[in-house]
Amino acid sequence: MSHLTGLLVIDAPASALNNAGKDEEARTDNAVAVKFIRTPEGRYPYVSAQAVRFWLRTQLAQTAGWTTSPVFRETKVAYTDAEPTKYAEDDLFGYMRAASKSGDEKKAAKRAEIAKTSTPVGEDVGELTRISPLRVGTMVSTVPVRIVRDWGTMARAEGDPVPYEHQFYRASLKGGVALDLACAGTFFVSQRVGYKNLDAARVASAQAAQATQVSVRGFQAWRLPVGTRQARTATVVRALGKLEGGAKQTLHLTDTAPAALVLAVCKHGNQPFQRLFTASEDGETTSFRDDVLTEVLRVYGADLVSDVYIGWAKGFLDAERKKLAPFLEAGGTPRVHLLHPVEAANAMAEALEKNGAWFD
């Protein structure tokens, strides 16, 4: 059972990609703060995993061949259709559908309206839950930074200008990404929370899509044809190379496509590449740890079933990029490839499309 494992780094030269709302430390009421982690060493700006997943969902919705699940809302309850056979988004991003059972007439009328256009949840399960095969880490700055406060004004109004204040930062944001290949396109029928993926109607839908019944990790499941599973995962991986999103882009235009992207397929779900980019010894800049890569290839070499694809855009930490030269010349198994991040994502996607055994 294989897992895609990876790491991505965003170069944020002057950015505010994820905000926390009102700045409680500001001297004015009209001030917005960025999200950051406070530590004894300083403040580490971050982008939440939820935000990164939203960027990816939005990007995939515009990708040919990708099927986005519709969203339904009942007052304060919202859910997708929870139909993973039909929608690739429900398959790889997971879901929880537990519709409200309130006897309120307005809510009951809303549920009836939704039932006309959605796939209803059968009484045999009550609610449906699926753990996301795609996992995304919080994107955190590699070093503590000094967060800047900037002033702006609404000067087009009559009278005195209306001031406002917001924060931004300069940082390299690092986060992990993983995809459980065995669970992609594999839908469980257990009563355990997270594994109640299908009800009777959805089992019938899976059967119609030529899914076969299998046992995975001790649970009974229905599994789509491997070609469908490969196509869905490859689409997500290609999207990683062109990741697009972020807040305050009108004021702090930032290229959120990874400046560096590391991808490989491993026999287990560990994340061996998480320490490749860390703070330099003086704690001021981002450093590439070639000794960490050496250790990873030695310790996990037998567990890496694919080559290691490193996408690294020229112009980003060029002096650190040169540390990869010995790994490219060494050859061996697994091989290390140095490409642009988009090329690395495409190469990994092509490898996924060619190796159906990784999805067993």
pLDDT per residue, tens digit, the chain (360 aa), is: 799 999 999 999 999 999 998 776 666 667 889 999 999 999 999 999 999 999 999 999 999 999 999 999 887 788 999 999 999 999 999 999 976 666 667 777 777 788 788 888 887 778 999 999 999 999 999 999 999 998 877 777 777 777 778 899 999 999 999 999 999 999 999 989 999 999 999 999 999 999 999 999 999 999 999 999 999 999 999 999 999 999 999 999 999 999 999 999 999 999 999 999 999 998 899 999 999 999 999 999 999 999 999 999 999 999 999 999 999 988 888 899 999 999 999 999 999 999 999 999
Q: Smallest Cα–Cα separation from 80: which of 70, 68, 66?
A: 70
What values do phi and psi take at 84, rounded to 5?
-70, -20
For the whole model, what pTM was predicted?
A: 0.93
> What does the pLDDT read at residue 167?
93
Residues recorded for the chain: 360
The token duo for 108 is 């009951």
Give the span between the Cα atoms of 108 and 110, in whole angstroms.
5
* Residue pair 248/17 in contact by the 8 Å Cβ criterion: yes
128: β partners: 97
Angle value at C-alpha 246, between 245 and 250, nearest 5 degrees: 105
Tracing tokens 């490859």 back to the chain, one arrives at 234
What's at 13, amino acid-wise?
Answer: P
H or E, element range at 196: none
Q: Which residues contact 124 (CB under 8 A, 6 or more apart)?
A: 199, 200
Give the span between the Cα atoms of 222 and 211, in whole angstroms.
6
Which alpha helices (DSSP H) does the chain contain, by range? 49-61, 88-93, 105-115, 200-208, 226-240, 290-300, 318-321, 325-330, 341-354
